[in-house]
Structure 1
């Protein structure tokens, strides 16, 4: 059975607002970090190499904020594949706190693109078979 990609994130002072809870844009930065780590660690396609000629921009994002996260807490961030298409991947994600309460959850759709040498033209490009195989290891059917 496939498993999600999981990373931990400690809530730091830089993440919080005046109320002492994570400021919502920081959650999206954490999501980008999770996607970047997934590509580097699990898919063996680090952004540092990919972005020379390609990219994986977010084209759709749905987020539900469930509970506050506070300074010093550690979140478990999970990412899994809900649907893999020829040039895009729809992923589910969830952050839980140490009490296993859901803090944040949602969906993100990423598109594999090629970037022209002049950096002015970007177009969708199908994933190659090797990448499809790697991504498919994270497909989890949810009900």
Structure 2
């Protein structure tokens, strides 16, 4: 059982007039973390997956704890709290170089398949191979 961890440097594009990360940029950073997790750890890159399937976010809970500023490097951590038939609930935490939590929360992702005309989606169970890969990131929290 392990965490998926990536680093992200706060750039000018991330900040607002006050010089701190504008909150929607954190959601983009989270999406990048999920995308990297699927490509690097689960061997299911979005570029290939989105030919027939998707993994939309259906629920998101987030708490902002500390500001992040231009030039700082954040450590973005993701783990699995619960794996269901066609969905996965992931915990996440971003920390700064002082190991202070910047934000934390959980995101629920659903595995979906597109119909032939790509004008509809339906939840689809993860296959056994994908469940095995996802299970490596299950961390039981108290």
Shorter-normalised TM range: over 0.9
Q: Which residue in the other structure is 1:41 paired with?
A: 40
With the length of structure 1 as denominator, give the TM-score of the two structures: 0.99
Secondary structure of the 1:20 match is coil
After superposition, residues 127-138 of structure 1 pair within 5 angstroms as: 127-138=126-137
Deviation at 1:117, TM superposition (A): 2.2
How many residue pairs get aligned? The number is 142
Structure 1 segments unaligned to the other structure (5+ residues): none
What is the rounded CA distance, in whole Å, between the counterparts of 2:93 and 2:117 in structure 1? Answer: 37
After superposition, residues 50-69 of structure 1 pair within 5 angstroms as: 50-69=49-68
With the length of structure 2 as denominator, give the TM-score of the two structures: 0.99
After superposition, residues 13-28 of structure 1 pair within 5 angstroms as: 13-28=12-27
Q: Which residue in the other structure is 2:87 paired with?
A: 88
What RMSD over aligned residues (CA atoms) do the two structures have, in Å? 0.4
Structure 1 segments of 4 or more deviating over 4 A? Answer: none
After superposition, residues 104-143 of structure 1 pair within 5 angstroms as: 104-143=103-142
Could you list the per-position Cα deviations for residues 87-114 of structure 1 after superposition, in whole angstroms to 9, with x for gaps in the alignment?
0000000000000000000000000000
After superposition, residues 62-81 of structure 1 pair within 5 angstroms as: 62-81=61-80
